Amino acid sequence: MATQTKSSLNAERALEILLVLGSVGPEGISLSQISQRVSAAKSAVHRSLAALLLKGFAEPAGRYGHYRLGPSIPMIARRQEWLEPQLQLIRPGMTEFAQRTGFTVYLMVQAGLDAVCAEMVSRSSRDHFTMGVGGRVPMGVAAGSVALLSMLSEERAQQIIEANTERLIKHPSLLHIDSKVVAEQVFAARERGYAVNMGFYLPGVGGLGLPIPGRGGYNVNVVVSFNVPVEMMNDVWIEARIVDLRECLGTKVIGGLMSHF
């Protein structure tokens, strides 16, 4: 049992290191910085890095003592095409909605205790929010991940919220966020059929997230979300934008949506 526990901790640390490497650019990050971010001793981090380097999941960066993601990551990603059929179906509607409104549109999927951006469409070169393809937030943060939680069973959603309790409290926000607040947001999203973020995380910026339940053996739950100025977000305006988004996505994407809620 002790060996299994040690192996599990080693594997978890290696995964945390991969997430850290994925959050930095090609310039990489130092061993000390990785150690701080994963809250582990440099000696332990160095051992995990050595294993990742051996398999090509990490590689030395140009700057001495710095590391970045290795070539094995994109090679595996290119082979994992399970989401592409859904992307091909949803992407045109995301593009049309972005063109109509000028908002940046995100496609969010669940990855364990996190929500990950699988696609982003924008007609502007300006930065919108801090999310890009591959970016992730704890489940429960912002409208996209709340909408993902709303498609899960109440029991499973509560398990994830409780597992993320400390992360929700520590995540940068303008308003108080904890597991109780997130649970209330998820309940409200189930009731109305979409999630609303009334400016919890960025000054003057809110967001909406439309759940699209997976259908068939190979589809997964996804959410189409977008950020908007909070000053626009009254009930009538919000409902009108959700209607617009559903119209852009079309019946092939959301045909089964109304019967889900």
21-62, pLDDT tens digit by residue?
988 888 999 999 999 999 999 999 999 999 898 888 888 888
Which residues are CB-neighbours of 52 under 8 A, at least 6 positions away? 14, 17, 18, 58, 70
Q: Which of 69, 64, 74, 6 is nearest to 31 (CA)?
A: 64
pTM assigned to the model: 0.74
216-239, pLDDT tens digit by residue?
655 789 999 999 999 999 999 999
Q: d(Cα 167, Cα 141) in Å, to the nearest integer?
A: 9
Domains, the chain, in order of start with CATH, read: 2-76 (1.10.10.10), 81-260 (3.30.450.40)
Q: d(Cα 250, Cα 209) in Å, to the nearest integer?
A: 16
Name the token pair of 177.
């966020």
- Structural contact between residues 226 and 244, judged by C-beta atoms closer than 8 angstroms: no
Residues of the chain with pLDDT under 70: 1-7, 74-81, 124-131, 216-218, 255-261
Q: Is the dihedral of CA 167, 194, 209, 201 positive or negative?
A: negative
Q: What is the dihedral of CA 27, 32, 38, 40, to 10 degrees?
A: 150
Paired residues of 115 in beta bridges: 110, 137
